[in-house]
């Protein structure tokens, strides 16, 4: 066992502050479990702090929650010493211990002299972002593990604009964290006057819902005979989305087995819209009712997946790049028709987004700006241009099934997305076109794109060592040929440099991140990104070609080449 993990474990086991019931749990851990739970401190990644619940320094528990909350409170006191009564909004989704962690977080901040606002029940992440903005608070905290399995929980931190903290803002929090003792030794500092706990007013949700309604481009489309099957995946959209859709006149059927909050996700095979298992029950009901559209929100309602009935009556799923590209075309074309397309409009995407969205935007003379993964970069850019008379925000999205249409929220918003996706699907249906046919029209215009994500799940020290070796290997030999294709541009976001095959160098004007991108002479790309919130490495293959068959063949060839060049036999991508 790793020496650090063992010493951390023994420290927790024998600590005088360790409750007897927790001590008994620690004593049941196996050596491999001890190592993974204690070999490092849980980290802040692209989406805050997220991990397995349980005892240990590398786990989500009341001790690690306590430590990060104290650090956040100290940061707020440093930044806003005269404004602490503005408060912090705290929300949670359906996860285990959600109420316990919410109460603990609020009590700690109150003790530190900071007011808090809490919701009376679980709510979507975008509503937390909106509440921070509407109530003019100092920030927000969302207790959620998003789409991860039931064993996970997490802690997202927001600034006063309702945006997750970008690197230059989170540096202060990380610096304070580094000065604090280990979690069991943390003492909550007491300040007078103590903060007050308040309930988020009901009007906040009502205002948010009305703003979502205002995003509609064709609100009066006839909605009869257009049935929608929806699943909240036991999560935070279970109440707000069905109510919203019924008020809009949509015929929505909520999957009954997945319609109520459940931390164990007993009615679904997966709560993740990126996985086919998440759609099984919804598609079964769609077949029963012959519904043209299936929609799934993840548990904290910031991401959404779509399925549609094709011309043969079978159901097909859209990935995040495909659904976003369709919505970009729909938004831009209809705003142009309605004379509502701004002359200085802009769309935001990420370095792992399909180039298809950028091509569509260019056709409508709309600019595109690209960021690292993490919607916080998009939210922060919206705020920057809002204060510096920049381009007009139209749309922002990530390939991971999250997007934003209205900037009254500064994070991914499944409620907004579902509303516009439903309108878009209805529009095409009224013209005798399903979403797959609409997507094929885009491919015929802009070229065929196949964008696939693969991942290797890793754990412990061995996993970290493998990732370090992999990234170093690619950095040392980035221009290896991939059968008949060659790398023409190598982008290294850790060292913020791009190199082409002619030896020219340029600077990447984005924050540092341990990400590598290989760009090929056929317009395809491969991105390698160790996850910042999960023990895995993600691989994005963005393949371009002239037909559906060609891009599928090329994907398999690229997979084989990459695995042969950079991966061991036991860690091949499939």
Higher pLDDT, 148 or 397: 397
Nearest of 217, 216, 271, 229 to residue 94 by alpha carbon:
271
Pairing status of strand 197-199 against strand 116-118: parallel
CATH classification at residue 55? 3.40.120.10
- What does the pLDDT look like over 473-532, one tens digit per residue? 999 999 999 989 999 999 999 999 999 999 999 999 999 999 999 999 999 999 999 876
Determine the Cα angle at 269 with ends 263 and 270, to 5°: 70
Phi, psi of 406 (to 5 degrees): -105, 130
Q: Given the structure tokens 């061995």, which residue do they identify?
A: 462
What is the arithmetic mean of pLDDT over 159-185?
Answer: 92
Let me know whether 2 and 137 are in one domain. no
Does residue 570 carry a pLDDT above 80?
Answer: no
Q: Judge whether 208 lies within some domain.
A: no
Let me know whether 49 and 192 are in one domain. yes
Question: CA separation (Å) from 248 to 113, 220, 302?
Answer: 43, 9, 20
Phi, psi of 190 (to 5 degrees): -105, 135
Q: Is the dihedral of CA 311, 312, 314, 318 positive or negative?
A: negative
Residues 6+ apart with CB under 8 A from 536: 455, 456, 457, 458, 530
What is the per-residue pLDDT for 399?
95
Does residue 547 carry a pLDDT above 90?
Answer: yes
348-376 as b/e: b if 16+ CB within 10 A: bbbbbbbbbbbbbbeebebebbbbbbbbb
**Count of CA atoms in the C-beta half-sphere (13 A) of 511:** 17
- DSSP for 347-377? EEEETTS-HHHHHHHHHTT-EEEEE-SSHHH
Q: Judge whether 220 lies within some domain.
A: no
Let me know whether 534 and 404 are in one domain. no
Which tokens sit at 489?
A: 């541009």
Phi, psi of 414 (to 5 degrees): -70, -30
What is the arithmetic mean of pLDDT over 38-66?
Answer: 89
What is the arithmetic mean of pLDDT over 114-123?
Answer: 97
Question: Using CA atoms, how far apart are residues 471 and 47, in angstroms rounded to an integer?
Answer: 22
**Contact status, residue 88 vs residue 137, Cβ threshold 8 Å:** yes
- What does the pLDDT look like over 84-111, one tens digit per residue? 999 999 999 999 999 999 999 999 999 9
Pairing status of strand 304-309 against strand 293-297: antiparallel
Helix, strand, coil shares of the chain, percent, nearest 5, are 40, 20, 40
Phi, psi of 199 (to 5 degrees): -95, 135
Question: Using CA atoms, how far apart are residues 501 and 201, in angstroms rounded to an integer?
Answer: 58
Q: Judge whether 413 lies within some domain.
A: yes
Question: Using CA atoms, how far apart are residues 543 and 448, in angstroms rounded to an integer?
Answer: 8
Phi, psi of 98 (to 5 degrees): -60, -45
- What does the pLDDT look like over 422-469, one tens digit per residue? 999 999 999 999 999 999 999 999 999 999 999 888 776 777 788 889
Please give the tally of structural domains in the chain: 5
CATH classification at residue 500? 3.30.310.50
Q: Is the dihedral of CA 199, 200, 203, 206 positive or negative?
A: negative
Last residue of a domain, one of 407, 423, 446: 446
**Contact status, residue 516 vs residue 352, Cβ threshold 8 Å:** no
Q: Judge whether 212 lies within some domain.
A: no
Q: Judge whether 153 lies within some domain.
A: yes
Let me know whether 459 and 427 are in one domain. no
Does residue 342 carry a pLDDT above 80?
Answer: yes
Question: Using CA atoms, how far apart are residues 111 and 98, in angstroms rounded to an integer?
Answer: 20
**Contact status, residue 97 vs residue 145, Cβ threshold 8 Å:** no
DSSP tag of 60: B
Last residue of a domain, one of 293, 317, 341: 317
Last residue of a domain, one of 446, 465, 484: 446
Q: Judge whether 210 lies within some domain.
A: no
Peptide bond into 193 cis (omega under 30): yes
Active site residues: 146
Let me know whether 246 and 325 are in one domain. no
DSSP tag of 14: T
Residues 6+ apart with CB under 8 A from 400: 274, 303, 320, 373
Let me know whether 47 and 143 are in one domain. yes
Let me know whether 268 and 304 are in one domain. yes
- Look at residue 324 and give its three-state secondary structure: helix
How far is CA 501 from its chain centroid? 34
Which tokens sit at 420?
A: 């516009």
**Contact status, residue 51 vs residue 59, Cβ threshold 8 Å:** yes
Let me know whether 390 and 433 are in one domain. yes
Which tokens sit at 387?
A: 């204060």
What is the per-residue pLDDT for 408?
98
CB atoms under 10 Å from CB of 339, counted, come to 6
Let me know whether 196 and 47 are in one domain. yes
Question: Using CA atoms, how far apart are residues 340 and 555, in angstroms rounded to an integer?
Answer: 39
Give the DSSP H/E element, type plus range, for residue 545.
strand 536-545
Q: Judge whether 459 lies within some domain.
A: yes
Question: In terms of residue numbers, what domain contains 514?
Answer: 448-571
Q: In percent, how much of the chain has pLDDT > 90?
A: 88
CB atoms under 10 Å from CB of 269, counted, come to 13
What is the per-residue pLDDT for 144?
96
pTM, two decimal places? 0.94
Let me know whether 46 and 160 are in one domain. yes
Does residue 533 carry a pLDDT above 60?
Answer: no
Enumerate the β-bridge partners of residue 156: 142
571 pLDDT tier (thresholds 50, 70, 90): confident
Q: Given the structure tokens 């972002």, which residue do they identify?
A: 129
Computed over every residue of the chain, the mean pLDDT equals 95
What is the arithmetic mean of pLDDT over 322-345?
Answer: 97
Let me know whether 426 and 458 are in one domain. no
Question: Using CA atoms, how far apart are residues 339 and 548, in angstroms rounded to an integer?
Answer: 35
- DSSP for 178-209? HHS--GGG------SSPP-EEEPPHHHHHHHH
Question: Using CA atoms, how far apart are residues 31 and 51, in angstroms rounded to an integer?
Answer: 19
206-216 as b/e: b if 16+ CB within 10 A: eebbeebeebe
Let me know whether 435 and 502 are in one domain. no
Q: Judge whether 217 lies within some domain.
A: no
Task: Specify the long-range contacts of residues 256-259, CB closer than 8 Å, at least 24 apart.
Answer: 257/281, 258/231, 258/232, 258/233, 258/234, 258/282, 259/231, 259/232
């Amino acid at each position: 066992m790793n020496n650090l993990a063992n010493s951390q474990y023994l420290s927790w086991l024998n600590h005088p502050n360790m409750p007897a019931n927790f001590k008994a749990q620690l004593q049941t851990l196996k050596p491999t479990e001890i190592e993974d739970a204690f070999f490092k401190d849980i980290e802040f990644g692209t989406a805050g702090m997220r991990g397995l619940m349980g005892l240990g320094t590398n786990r989500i528990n009341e001790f690690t929650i306590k430590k990060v909350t104290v650090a956040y409170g100290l940061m707020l006191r440093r930044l806003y010493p005269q404004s602490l009564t503005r408060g912090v909004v705290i929300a949670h989704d359906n996860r285990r211990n959600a109420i316990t962690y919410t109460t603990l977080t609020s009590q700690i901040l109150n003790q530190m002299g900071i007011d808090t606002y809490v919701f009376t029940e679980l709510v979507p992440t975008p509503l937390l972002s909106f509440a921070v903005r509407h109530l003019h608070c100092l920030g927000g905290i969302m207790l959620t593990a998003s789409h991860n399995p039931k064993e996970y929980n997490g802690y997202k931190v927001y600034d006063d604009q309702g945006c997750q903290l970008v690197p230059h803002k989170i540096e202060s929090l990380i610096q304070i964290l580094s000065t604090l003792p280990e979690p069991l030794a943390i003492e909550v500092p007491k300040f007078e006057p103590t903060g007050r706990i308040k309930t988020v007013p009901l009007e906040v949700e009502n205002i948010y819902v009305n703003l979502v309604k205002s995003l509609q481009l064709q609100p009066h489309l006839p909605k009869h005979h257009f049935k929608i099957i929806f699943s909240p995946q036991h999560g935070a959209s279970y109440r707000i989305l069905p109510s919203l859709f019924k008020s809009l006149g949509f015929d929505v059927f909520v999957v009954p087995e997945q319609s109520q909050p459940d931390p164990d996700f007993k009615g679904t095979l997966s709560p993740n819209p990126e996985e086919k298992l998440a759609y099984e029950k919804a598609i079964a009901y769609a077949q029963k009712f012959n519904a043209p559209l299936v929609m799934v929100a993840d548990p904290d309602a910031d991401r959404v997946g779509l399925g549609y009935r094709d011309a043969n009556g079978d159901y097909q799923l859209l990935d995040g790049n495909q659904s976003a590209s369709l919505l970009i075309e729909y938004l831009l074309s209809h705003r142009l028709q309605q004379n509502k397309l701004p002359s200085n409009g802009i769309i935001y995407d990420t370095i792992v987004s399909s180039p298809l969205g950028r091509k569509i935007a260019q056709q409508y003379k709309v600019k595109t700006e690209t960021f690292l993964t993490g919607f916080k970069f998009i939210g922060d850019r919206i705020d920057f241009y809002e204060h510096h008379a920049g381009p007009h925000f139209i749309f922002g999205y990530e390939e991971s099934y999250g997007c934003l249409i209205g900037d009254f929220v500064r994070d991914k918003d499944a409620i907004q997305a579902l509303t516009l996706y439903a309108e878009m699907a209805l529009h095409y249906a009224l013209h005798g076109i399903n979403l797959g046919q609409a997507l094929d029209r885009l491919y015929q215009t802009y070229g065929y794109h196949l964008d696939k994500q693969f991942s290797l799940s890793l754990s412990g020290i061995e996993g970290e060592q493998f990732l370090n070796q992999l990234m170093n290997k690619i950095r040392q030999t980035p221009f290896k040929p991939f059968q008949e294709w060659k790398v023409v541009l190598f982008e290294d976001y850790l060292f913020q440099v791009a190199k082409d095959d002619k030896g020219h160098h340029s600077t990447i004007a984005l924050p540092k991140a341990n990400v590598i991108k290989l760009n090929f002479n056929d317009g395809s790309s491969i991105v390698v990104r160790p996850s910042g919130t999960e023990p895995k490495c993600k691989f994005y293959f963005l393949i371009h070609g002239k037909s559906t068959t060609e891009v599928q063949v090329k994907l398999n060839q690229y997979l084989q080449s990459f695995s042969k060049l950079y991966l061991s036999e036991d860690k091949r991508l499939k």
